[in-house]
Amino acid sequence: MIGNVIGRLLQVLPTLFGVLVLVFAMTHVLPGDPARLIAGPEATDAEVAGLRADLGLDQPVGAQFITYLSNLSRGEMGRSLHSNRPVVDELAARLPRTLILTGLALAIMISLGLAAGIISAIKPDSLRDHLLTGLSLTGISVPLFWLGLMLVLVFSYHLRWLPTGGTSSLRGYILPAVTLGLGAAAMLARLMRSSLLDIIHQDYIRTARAKGAREAVVIGRHALRNALIPAVTLIGLEAGILLGGAVIVETIFSINGIGRYLVQSIQYRDYPATQGAVLVIAVIFITVNLLTDLSYGLLDPRQRRGAA
């Protein structure tokens, strides 16, 4: 098991390096001059050139990348070109908000998605199955920005039950988390229904029923555990997708998380801030997928024997 974990970690390093190279290259091909944006339209060419030299933007791209890697090895991500504050400090202040939002959305996804998928699969082609299937298709099809605006219109503007956003209390996370989690829950419900229906028709399920086992035991002990394996894969992938969706949701609901910080840093052509935000998101995404891979051994003993 330990060897498997070490092997997975070694596979992560090339992926992280590839992310660093890709993000660094993409930020430097964006149109616009960060020094000109910071100096303002009234600044002279000489002032802009001096500011560019102070920021190190006059160096070749390769030299800038080596400097960035050297700073990163010491736990530094540079200073924001816009605020002149350390990027690490700005990310640390915003990361908890993004993690809370993503965690709540993931909880909504898992609870609603698994419940809807199981209920649909237990009695296929029933009225509740058709109803839940229709709702799942609707949830997959609705864009995030439209759903968020509609939830604000109904629950904040008309009913005045919930705030339009912000992070002053947990209530401010409800609408953003629902916006982010409903679409993922719909996808999980569809996958769980299909996976459970395939498992229910297997021979060992029929054998368990023939032995007189109760239906709840057959579904819960025999079918559900195997049906969860593809669901866990989707949950791991969706955790990363939810981080990407946080970029849109945090902007809509005015949450000062990493997603909104990334949007603002791109607008300001803030290279260090953009690279730092993307790197943090990539690390979280890779970590979640690593934990997902390792969790297969808990659900399927064959995975543990294969790893051993």
pLDDT tens digits along 186-241 = 999 988 888 888 887 777 777 777 777 676 667 766 677 777 778 888 888 888 78
Q: Are residues 240 and 101 in the same domain?
A: yes
Q: Are residues 97 and 65 in the same domain?
A: no
Percent of the chain with pLDDT over 90: 7
Q: CB within 8 A of 120, min separation 6: which ones?
A: 128, 129, 132, 133, 189, 193
Asked, for residue 82, whether it belongs to a domain, the answer is: no
Asked, for residue 52, whether it belongs to a domain, the answer is: yes
Distance of CA 31 to the CA centre of its chain: 27
Q: Are residues 22 and 69 in the same domain?
A: yes
Choosing from 51, 73, 95, the residue where a domain stops is: 73
Q: Give how many domains the chain has, as a whole number.
A: 2
Q: Are residues 30 and 140 in the same domain?
A: no
The pTM score is 0.79
**Which residue range forms the structural domain that includes residue 58?**
2-73
> pLDDT per residue over 15-24, tens digit each?
888 888 888 8
Asked, for residue 290, whether it belongs to a domain, the answer is: yes
Most confident region among 17-31, 143-157, 165-179 by mean pLDDT: 143-157
Residue 209 to residue 211: CA distance in whole angstroms? 5
Q: Are residues 25 and 117 in the same domain?
A: no
Query: Which element (helix H / strand E) includes 121?
Result: helix 87-122
Q: Are residues 291 and 216 in the same domain?
A: yes
Choosing from 73, 102, 127, the residue where a domain stops is: 73
Asked, for residue 287, whether it belongs to a domain, the answer is: yes
Q: Are residues 98 and 17 in the same domain?
A: no
